[in-house]
Structure 1
Amino acid sequence: MKRFLIILAILLLFAPPSFSATQNYVVGEGDVLNLTVYEHDDLTMSVRVSGEGTISVPLIGDVHVQGLTLGQISRKITALLADGYIVNPQVNIFIHEFKSKKATILGRINRPGLYELRQHTTLLELISQAGGLTKGAGSKAIIKRKRSSGPDEEQVITIDLKKLIEAGDTSQNIQVIGGDSIYITTTAVYFVTGEVKKPDEFSLDGETTVIQAIARAGGFSEKAARSRVKIIRKTDAGKQVLKRVAMDRQILPNDVIVVPESFF
């Protein structure tokens, strides 16, 4: 998680300026816009995009804005006001509340759910907004995206989280768009409990021995019975207990390594 936060901070530091990104934001139903007209305070307002995709502007009435960028809306209102109402109007439109575009993120994430997207929200930004990855998060994010060719057609995008977070590969940090459904995969895990310094759940990254697993858990405590380590393993037949296991034994997904207390 610490590595994730460092990479995220670096990527956000070198993000492009937000103004141009905001001006290219495509407005939808529910968004709240701030409208200002230079030297016309009576036209300064906040207005919500209606279910019909319109906003109401004094002098010119309802203006259809859904599907337009902020820049396009500004030019449209400028032209309407200039048509017999205001000489050389200077119109500015800014987004006040992002409400129209949402994406779902599920799986190994701390706060799974539905999130509103701001401007050009990237995958890392959404992961951060959702509280970051949980322990046991896999190396892939699966994004299901609706194709413009039809509501029932989906595009599936696979993102390599290891390249993105550990290697800082920004090509993996794609923009999330409205309607995206993102699933953070699960990696294989194992558990270390008993007389170790940091008992916990750990991701199983490749071949791992018992002693390596215990080392990741901080090593043996002073009370550990090192010669009586056992593994509780799930099998098709049920639970299997392997006693006095060798330290160089390979562990399997979902193994529970138990380090008992020494009585001496």
Structure 2
Amino acid sequence: MATDPATVTATFRFYEELNDFLPRAQRGRDCVCACARAATVKHMIEALGVPHTEVELILVNGESCGFERLLQDGDRVSVYPQFEAFDVTPLLRVRAEPLRATRFVADAHLGGLAHLLRLTGFDTLYDNHYADSEIEAIAMREGRIVLTRDRELLKRRGVTHGCYVRAIKATPQLREIFARLDLARSARPFSLCLDCNAPLRAIDKTEVDGRAPPGVLARQARFVTCDCCQRVFWEGSHWRHMRDLVDELVPAGRL
């Protein structure tokens, strides 16, 4: 029992990759914590270092609950990550429903990932001058998933959907996000401009004159353009390199 009347004692256990956010000594084991009497489950989860956006299911004393449940003395709290392997359909997930559209906003450290997500057809906002407050506001206003390597950004109240990106380089980051969010089924490769995030559209070869090198016009038959930046794109060597990555991520027959 808690000896301080202003606190209660609860035991927390985090599962799978949520342990990455904990000090090494607390990973994979029960953690007994003193909590303020008015503390919510969400408050304590984040106080222990785990962003709420990484959590899919919470069990308190074996029963599923939401983030706003007040902790009681003696509670045992089990916290599970997104897309855990076992079937949690009968239980209460902490989010009522997924976002209607899979759209992203990436922080200043994920410019390469933002370009690769656009490559695979996912609307992704990125500006290396975005402040955390701007990213939070965009996510709230437009219903976007926040991508970041800053766990404090994911703890902001207005961020309801987000992913902490573990990989360091852009291509492994893309593989990680595709696997975590099961993006292959909704990918639309080569449909967005990598620079502008605007839709690409096909144009006739006659419209390309003066906008591509003469050798390209002689060798290529298919062209697309971005109406925002006016650039013209074709299936050159860089496209073939990108296509190899797309073919790795998106099953054959999906395109």
Q: TM-score range by the shorter chain?
A: under 0.3
Structure with greater strand share of residues: 1
- Structure of higher CA gyration radius: 1
TM-score after normalising by structure 2: 0.26
TM-score after normalising by structure 1: 0.26
Structure with greater helix share of residues: 2
